[in-house]
Amino acid sequence: MGHTYADITIYGMDSTRSKSIRLLVDTGSTYTWVGSKLLRELAIQPLKEREFRTVEGRKPRRRVGEALIEAFGEKATTIVVFAEKNDARVLGVHALEGLGLQLDPTANKLKKVRAVLAV
């Protein structure tokens, strides 16, 4: 199985600035990780700092904020992590669910969800 990437547009919260980027789809990551420099350019502000746990057992602390993202014609607000130099840039589960998307592992691509789980 290969990697799946998604082309998304990320907007500043005032929607006056945007940037199209390609992110690795990572269903093991709760949040979406985007470079700190880009988030600052879009005037996205950190709201707080959180501790994360990596598969290697590290516990890095990173700033998090909110951004409006768009993919497959759908828009949603999502939590974004201010990624540092060596952090992966990924599209996480929180964003996928907000956009109504899921990973089709057979076709190795994203597809729209027909219905969102209610319970």
Query: How do residues 9-52 score in pLDDT, each as one tens digit?
Result: 999 878 789 999 999 999 999 999 999 999 999 999 999 999 99
Asked if residue 75 is part of any domain, the answer here is yes
Interatomic CA distance for residues 116 and 19, integer angstroms: 27
- Predicted pLDDT at 7: 96
Residue 116 reports pLDDT greater than 80: no
Please give the average per-residue pLDDT across 44-69, as a whole number: 94
What is the percent of the chain with per-residue pLDDT over 90, rounded to a whole number? 78
Give the DSSP H or E segment for 39: helix 36-41
- More confident site: 31 or 54: 31
Residue 90 in domain: yes
Residue 39: inside a domain = yes
DSSP designation for 27 = T
Domains contained in the chain, number? 1
The pair phi, psi for residue 61, each rounded to 5°, is -105, 135
Domain that includes residue 70, residue range? 5-112
- Over range 85-97, report the average pLDDT: 95
Tell me the C-alpha distance between 70 and 10, whole Å: 6
Q: Does the residue 96 lie in any domain?
A: yes
Q: Is residue 119 part of a domain?
A: no
User: What is the rounded average pLDDT of the residues 2-12?
Assistant: 93
Q: The CATH number of the domain where 72 resides is what?
A: 2.40.70.10
66 assigned to some structural domain: yes
What's the predicted TM-score (pTM) here? 0.91
Within a domain: residue 117?
Answer: no
Asked whether residue 1 carries a pLDDT value surpassing 60, the answer given is: no
